[in-house]
């Protein structure tokens, strides 16, 4: 699991299970006030055989996360 901290949020690489496979995701949580993380699937249309593979892909995508807006939505660097 990779982690990136911003002013008001933290983001971590994550996985979302899906019928025998896994999707890569980024989980974002506010640093203050607790609450549960919100999962944002990345690499739409791609699934991975193992959770480890999905988390590795999510960790690579996390590197391109430039910011998290006030509502907790990810903002990625343009490709």
- Asked whether residue 26 is domain-assigned, the answer is yes
Q: What are 1-48's pLDDT values in tens digits?
A: 899 999 999 999 999 999 999 999 999 999 998 789 999 999 999 999
Which of the four pLDDT bands, split at 50, 70 and 90, describes residue 64? very high
- Asked whether residue 77 is domain-assigned, the answer is no
Cα–Cα distance list, 9 to 12, 19, 40, 59 (Å): 10, 30, 14, 17
Domain interval for residue 60: 3-69
- Asked whether residue 47 is domain-assigned, the answer is yes
- Asked whether residue 17 is domain-assigned, the answer is yes
Provide the pairing of β-strand 38-41 with 21-30. antiparallel
Q: How many domains does the chain have?
A: 1
Which of the four pLDDT bands, split at 50, 70 and 90, describes residue 60? very high
- Asked whether residue 42 is domain-assigned, the answer is yes
- Asked whether residue 25 is domain-assigned, the answer is yes
- Asked whether residue 76 is domain-assigned, the answer is no
pTM: 0.90
CA angle 75, 77, 58 (to 5 degrees): 75
Average pLDDT, the chain: 94
């Amino acid at each position: 699991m990779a982690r990136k901290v911003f002013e008001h949020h933290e983001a971590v690489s994550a996985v979302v299970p899906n019928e025998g496979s896994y999707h890569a995701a980024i989980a974002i949580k506010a640093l203050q006030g607790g609450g549960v993380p919100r999962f944002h699937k990345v690499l739409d249309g791609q699934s991975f055989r193992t959770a480890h593979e999905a988390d590795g892909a999510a960790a690579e995508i996390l590197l391109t996360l430039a910011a998290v807006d006030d509502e907790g939505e990810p903002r990625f660097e343009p490709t």
